[in-house]
Structure 1
């Protein structure tokens, strides 16, 4: 079962890689389809969760909230629409993880949805550091956007790597991955059009280049 789940995610990643050869990325929001991720998750059977799978869901719930909170804060500072638009998408990402947390009856770490408030203090420190960098200059703010999306891509890949028998978790992670790649393309597009520079921090230069030089992907997240 584990191999089949990993193969499912691999197919999603491969599909994204194939799209990367079709043309240059364009900056826009995530493209939605009519398929409901909520319905997809509800239709899939409940499987036993490993400790690693549970920890991954709890971690990703707050990491997606982190992205939303940072972008909302930077939007208040700079008034640049990309931060507001992607913050809305990040809300759908953290809500998607919440679907799984509720389905598997886990304790939701988001007990206070206020901006900058997290159960895991690691995210408090990260939020403060990212906002500090993003407050210094518009270039720094857009670099923070790239950093967050890179980090999401890295952490989603690590989280799905421990999934052993849960198609619903893989389905959600696959959508989050596509969304994060779209966000990275958008931030890169705005950053470079303003004449700023950025070097990848959390993924390889090769993977980064493959993502930013590819078209936006269609996802089931609204």
Structure 2
């Protein structure tokens, strides 16, 4: 009984202290014009980057759907909507370049590396509410780094514009998960970002993305 009361109190604390963060996550919808993308260089590496990020954004969405159903934490309910917009943005780029792709059913991925990550995140996120929030922070941490690697590797201006907007959204999401963890007396240690990169993100306010 005490455990149940403690969980309810923790959920209430998260809801109370993160309302403003969640409102900002609703503004993470990417709105990038693709009118001129046909005039930019496009490579096989660019195609692979788009197909990979399509599934990585789906990884975030599917994980948050699962964890929202399990824990009912507002972060997961709100950010999964933003992740759907991220998924749509990458799909729009694939469509604009006439690249074939398939979006797998929820919880399923063509890329085995991403499938393994999903399975791991679901297992970890089931253990506790704290673990679930840590999974959310880890996904956003990973997403920011992967997007930056692809930005650095391409000269395609359309991809750079969309990926930078997705990065902006992921920084907001990371702040939201970390803020929730801190308000339950826990901390997050970056898994992919450097400590310096992580601290710079956390120390800044939420951003307006895709504007």
Q: Tell me the TM-score normalised to structure 2 length.
A: 0.85
Please identify which structure carries the higher helix content. 2
The answer on 1:197 being equivalent to 2:197 is: no
Q: Name the residue aligned to 2:71.
A: 78
Q: 2:27 aligns with which of 29, 32, 46?
A: 32
Displacement of 1:118 in angstroms is: 1.1
Cα distance in 2 for residues equivalent to 1:34 and 1:94:
10
Cα distance in 1 for residues equivalent to 2:176 and 2:102:
29
CA deviation profile, 1:193-215 (whole Å, cap 9, x unmatched): 01112211101111111101110
Is residue 69–residue 115 contact of structure 1 (8 Å, CA) maintained in 2?
A: yes
Q: Name the residue aligned to 1:41.
A: 34
Is residue 133–residue 141 contact of structure 1 (8 Å, CA) maintained in 2?
A: yes
Alignment of 1:18-167 (within 5 A): 27-28=21-22, 29-30=24-25, 32=27, 36-37=31-32, 40-110=33-103, 112=104, 114-164=105-155, 166-167=156-157
Q: Tell me the TM-score normalised to structure 1 length.
A: 0.81
The answer on 1:177 being equivalent to 2:177 is: no
CA deviation profile, 1:94-144 (whole Å, cap 9, x unmatched): 11000110011112142x3x2111111222111010010010011100000
Is residue 178–residue 219 contact of structure 1 (8 Å, CA) maintained in 2?
A: yes
Counterpart of 2:35 in 1: which secondary structure?
A: helix
Is residue 153–residue 180 contact of structure 1 (8 Å, CA) maintained in 2?
A: yes
Is residue 29–residue 209 contact of structure 2 (8 Å, CA) maintained in 1?
A: no
Cα distance change, pair 140–116 in 1 and its aligned pair in 2 (3 A): same
Is residue 27–residue 187 contact of structure 1 (8 Å, CA) maintained in 2?
A: no
**Structure 1: gaps (5+ residues):** 1-25
Q: Name the residue aligned to 1:16.
A: none
Is residue 121–residue 135 contact of structure 2 (8 Å, CA) maintained in 1?
A: yes
Cα distance in 2 for residues equivalent to 1:79 and 1:169:
34
Counterpart of 2:94 in 1: which secondary structure?
A: helix
Cα distance in 1 for residues equivalent to 2:64 and 2:126:
11
Which 4+ stretches in 1 moved above 6 angstroms?
Answer: none
Cα distance change, pair 36–187 in 1 and its aligned pair in 2 (3 A): same
Is residue 130–residue 181 contact of structure 2 (8 Å, CA) maintained in 1?
A: yes
Cα distance in 2 for residues equivalent to 1:31 and 1:212:
19
Cα distance in 1 for residues equivalent to 2:30 and 2:96:
19
Displacement of 1:81 in angstroms is: 1.1
Q: Name the residue aligned to 1:209.
A: 199
Is residue 58–residue 109 contact of structure 1 (8 Å, CA) maintained in 2?
A: no
